[in-house]
Amino acid sequence: MGASVRSVQHDLYGVVGRPARHSLSPAMMQAAFAVLGMHACYLALEAEALAEALDALDRVGFRGLSVTVPFKQDAFALACRVDASARSIGAVNTLRRTASGWEGRNTDWLGAVRALERIVPLRGASALVIGAGGAARGVVYGLMERGAHVLIVNRTEQRARDLAAAFGCAWAPLSDLPSVGPKVVVHTTSAGMSGNPYDFAIPEGFFTAEMVVMDIVYAPLETPLLRRAKAAGARVVDGLEMLLHQGIEQLAWWLNRPAPEAAMRHALRRAAARAQGGVSHG
């Protein structure tokens, strides 16, 4: 009797980016598929251009994609349909294959909001957003959507002004930080990532025990900014929580069922520890 080989059909998912190989998402998503008992595969897909990548992945039969740097705006432009949040933010981080093409959503803003909401009610809370780039757009949208009072500061003042005007919130020069006493602080720049310097100064005594401080940087997990906030007694939320919650929302949308949060968090934290502070993108 000869050995038999049986082919098992796997559903295909992945993260498209440049770079993508250091992504922590495959560990998180594969853990979820295992818990759900699915024959599914989630791959890191490095692409030169998103349009060609989507055509190729479509032909191979991919069902869902996470989209990361630098393709989130391209994904917005290429999606056959997007939800209202993605339209407001102007970026798509999640694609789902439908009969009419790739449908797009943005779950980054929801990831940020969910990570914060676990700890602090956002309605009516004063929130300071540091940074005015692509990541800040999602965070500002999410905070406004939940009814927080948002103030933006940024190294380049004009970008803070433009982002505030786009979402109808406030902005301030960095020099005003000493007089700002927010309930929530969200740091959205790449300062602190792998030792990047902070081109802004947070004044002594700024952080307090009443604050909740989130950093979207997760390499290292405890950034210099979070360390200072923690030392002042603030409650801190690290960047992996946002990555986790945006991933939970992606999976739930692709599969139309709840995602296994505990297993995903465990796998994500283990993968991050293994990466030992190396640079990685969602």
- Interacting residue ranges for ligand ATR, rule: CB under 6 A: 131-136, 154-156, 159, 188-191, 196-200
Strands 11-17 and 40-46: parallel
Judge whether 24 and 272 are in contact, CB under 8 Å. Answer: yes
CB of 105 to ligand ATR, least distance (A): 18
Tell me which residues are annotated as active site: 72
Token pair for 93: 């981080």
Which of 154/250 has CB closer to ligand ATR?
A: 154
Which of 133/224 has CB closer to ligand ATR?
A: 133
CA 222-226-231 angle, to 5 degrees, is: 110
Identify any residues that bridge with 273 across adjacent strands, giving them in sequence order: none
CB of 216 to ligand ATR, least distance (A): 8
Which of 108/249 has CB closer to ligand ATR?
A: 108
| Nearest residue relative to ligand ATR (C-beta) | 133
**E-strand spans in 35-194?**
40-46, 62-67, 81-82, 94-98, 101-105, 126-130, 149-153, 170-171, 184-187
Judge whether 226 and 236 are in contact, CB under 8 Å. Answer: yes
Which of 134/224 has CB closer to ligand ATR?
A: 134
CB of 137 to ligand ATR, least distance (A): 8
CB of 264 to ligand ATR, least distance (A): 23
**How many angstroms from the chain centroid is the CA of residue 24?**
12
